Amino acid sequence: MTDLAAKVEEFLAAHPTEGADPVQWLGARFDAGLAFVHFPVGLGGLGASRSAQQAVDEAFLAANAPQPNPAAPVIGYGMAAPTILKFGTDEQKQRFLRPLYTGEEVWCQLFSEPGAGSDLATLATRAVRDGDEWVVDGQKVWTTMGHVARWGILVARTDPSLPKHQGLTYFLCDMTDPGVDVRPLRQITGEAEFNEVFLSGVRVPDANRLGAVGEGWKVATTTLMNERVTIGAHAAEREDGLIGAATKTWREHPELRTPGLHDRLLRLWVDAEALRLTAERLRQGLAAGQPGPEGSAAKLTFATLNQAITGLDVELHGEQGLTYTDWTMRRPKDADWANRDAGFRYLRMKGNSIEGGTSEILRNIIADRILQLPKEPRGDVDIPWKDLPR
């Protein structure tokens, strides 16, 4: 870390932060290997350990360094980048990783479908080979930031005669191509972070296929495991985020305090700190390889804890707790949850137990892959997808 710290200081000396253009500054940071420091040299990294990333990021934050487009990190950094690094060709890595990091190109995820959410492997979007291209038809749903994304990570069915997990292929889809129709989905908060996406005769070059034909589930699993770590085990300081908002309310409004609420706040504070420390240990453990099922446990805890904290926060606000002052019906470019009013936070966190893998599915993963409990009986694993009832 001493060498990395020196590299950060040297970079900051050569690239002043005040008044810097964010895209150009972040591009220089990528070229210096100080973007994803655990990535290889030439791809935004220095071949360092994953655990070094947090220290580097904190050093740049302390220097008030330019940050990327707020819409870029969640899917681009947390899901697309590690998947492209693992399965992409040299050309794909060179083409996509730098503009992904600088925020010039925002990414979205084209996985879930109206009939294939929790059981993603049953998805029906088809991709048919036509020379050097694939023609894609289907519908995706719950596509976060699809309205601002340039690229989408797409899983489609390329062989319906195979069992559901075996006939899938993974693509990188240009969201500006003809046939891509993005429509907003309005949430209970009044906003539309999510979208449904209709794909009608979209032609995807075979050069934008990620991994081998028929190995889409293998590639998608890497994406999903990274997604759960990104959501549930992100880096945080003590009392960051929602628990910080609840404790702020407690300190500023002594008239709302009761012994019962105090006890609940203390328990939730301890739970939030335990999750923060567990997440830090999980991220350090990733230095040895790709994320495993532990990310599912972190994401499950993240969802249930957020909902409990925001429920308490509403009570701490008394009769003003459900007042929601911002019904602008907007399409946000970021998700600034902690700094919105309590009513917004309470409503928005209901989605945590659905997005990034439902809590029910995550419990199944924990039971199967961590606790080694007997698997649930499944009768559709070896049946060709085209013969499955729908």
Dihedral (Cα; 244, 278, 97, 38), 10-degree rounding: 130
More confident residue, 48 or 211: 211
Q: What is the pLDDT of residues 236-282, one digit of tens each?
A: 677 778 898 889 888 888 887 788 888 899 999 999 998 888 877 77
Taking the C-alpha atoms of residue 365 and residue 375, their distance in angstroms, rounded to an integer, is 10
Average pLDDT over residues 299-305: 89
| Predicted confidence (pLDDT) at residue 2 exceeds the cutoff of 80 | no
- State the average pLDDT over residues 290-300: 73
Query: What is the greatest pairwise CA distance in the chain?
Result: 71
* Strand partners for 171: 154, 209
Residue 18 appears among annotated catalytic residues: no
- pLDDT in the model for residue 178: 98
In sequence order, which residues have a C-beta less than 8 Å from that of residue 242 and are 6 or more positions away? Answer: 272, 306, 309, 310, 313, 337, 338, 345, 349
What pLDDT shows up at residue 279? Answer: 77
So what's the pLDDT on residue 172?
98
Listed residue (381, 378, 376, 377) closest to 163, CA to CA? 381
Could you tell me which of 155, 147, 196 has the C-alpha nearest to residue 173? 155
Q: Identify the H or E element spanning 7.
A: helix 2-14
- In this prediction, residues 60-70 reach a mean pLDDT of 86
Residue with tokens 């301890």: 270
Q: Is the dihedral of CA 382, 384, 388, 390 positive or negative?
A: positive
Set 105, 227, 294, 315: catalytic member: 227
Contact indicator for 47, 40 with CB cutoff of 8 Å? yes
Taken in order of first residue, the domains within the chain and their CATH numbers are: 1-67 (no CATH), 107-214 (2.40.110.10), 220-370 (1.20.140.10)
Residue 187 near residue 232 (C-beta atoms within 8 A): no
Condensed to tens digits (0 to 9), the pLDDT of residues 114-164 reads: 988 778 999 999 999 999 999 999 999 999 889 989 999 999 999 999 999
Confidence of residue 356 (pLDDT cuts 50, 70, 90): confident
> C-alpha 367: how far from its chain's center?
23
Predicted confidence at residue 379, as pLDDT, reads: 73
